[in-house]
């Protein structure tokens, strides 16, 4: 079994703090994740004026606009993220939520794109992403078969490499809602690689997804699940990140290779001792 590509979804769990973002990058590297991922939005494009003007208490003010702007990182911060990831040798990329953000991220010459579950229904956006011809992870949360069909069609028409990611968009997700068997359905129906993007507590569901041959595994990460933010409670803390990656390595090691009839060298003296009373 091949180890899946491991993505630490920092998202907006940095709470607009570049130092917190860099700490999350560092622990992701230490936990042996292959990449870290952020989210990028042009707040004025993604949210209506009415929504932005609604009251909302947050560390940044009393309106939704102040809260959304407080969660965004700008060019200065992303320049620092880009430099830091190069320095410690870990890939980074981001899920853009609008065309302006997609153009912004293009300046960094990243290897990957990500379609967030919310964006899979925006066909114009999907076409723009596919035209960049970067390998793209496409989350299928909140999606019908028609939604997925159209997304796959766009990426194949543009000859853009992609993989789907089975996803349930609840935070945190209940274990009984995981429906991991859908991974096999996606693989058979679309004849493509399929990963898993999880929002559950703990690591059990993510480990269970391995048996379906996932090509990638994405989990939200945080320094502390009690921090401000809607994604924090569905995230892995550093100890959980280490537990996940160590468990994946043990899982793959335990599967091994077929060895019917083979006796380990270590078994031979034990066999002699335990079978000494048997006379054939």
- Please report the domains of the chain, with CATH numbers, ordered by start residue: 5-274 (3.20.20.70)
Per-residue confidence (pLDDT) for residue 280, from 0 to 100: 85
Q: What is the pTM of this model?
A: 0.95
Annotate 224-245 with b (16+ C-beta within 10 A) or e (fewer). Answer: ebeeebebbebbbbbebbbbbb
SS3 259: coil
Residues 6+ apart with CB under 8 A from 113: 93, 95, 96, 129, 132, 134, 135, 136, 137
Tens digit of each residue's pLDDT, the chain (280 residues): 899 999 999 999 999 999 999 999 999 999 999 999 999 999 999 999 999 999 999 999 999 999 999 999 999 999 999 999 999 999 999 999 999 999 999 999 999 999 999 999 999 999 999 999 999 999 999 999 999 999 999 999 999 999 999 999 999 999 999 999 999 999 999 999 999 999 999 999 999 999 999 999 999 999 999 999 999 999 999 999 999 999 999 999 999 989 999 999 999 999 999 999 999 8
């Amino acid at each position: 079994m091949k180890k899946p590509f491991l993505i630490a979804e920092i998202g907006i769990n940095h709470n607009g703090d570049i130092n917190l973002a860099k700490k999350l990058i560092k622990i992701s590297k230490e936990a042996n994740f292959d990449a870290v991922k952020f989210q990028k939005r042009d707040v004025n494009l993604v949210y209506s004026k009415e929504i932005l003007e609604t009251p909302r208490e947050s560390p940044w003010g009393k309106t939704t606009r102040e809260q959304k702007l407080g969660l965004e990182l700008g060019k200065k911060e992303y320049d620092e993220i880009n430099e830091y990831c190069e320095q410690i040798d870990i890939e980074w990329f981001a899920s853009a939520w609008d065309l302006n953000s997609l153009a912004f991220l293009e300046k960094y010459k990243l290897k990957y794109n990500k379609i967030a579950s919310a964006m899979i229904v925006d066909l114009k956006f999907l076409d723009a992403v596919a035209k960049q011809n970067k390998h793209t992870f496409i989350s299928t949360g909140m999606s019908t078969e028609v939604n997925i069909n159209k997304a796959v069609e766009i990426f194949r028409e543009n000859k853009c490499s992609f993989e789907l990611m089975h996803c349930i968009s609840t935070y945190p997700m209940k274990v009984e809602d995981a429906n991991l068997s859908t991974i096999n359905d996606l693989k058979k129906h679309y004849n493509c690689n399929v990963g898993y993007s999880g929002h559950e507590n703990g690591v059990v569901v993510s480990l269970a997804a391995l048996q379906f041959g996932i090509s990638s595994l994405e989990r939200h990460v945080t320094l502390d699940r009690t921090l401000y933010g809607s994604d924090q409670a569905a995230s892995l803390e550093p100890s959980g990140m280490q537990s996940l990656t160590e468990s994946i390595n043990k899982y793959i090691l335990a599967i091994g290779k077929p060895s019917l009839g083979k006796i380990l060298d270590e078994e031979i003296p034990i066999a002699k001792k335990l079978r000494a009373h048997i006379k054939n």
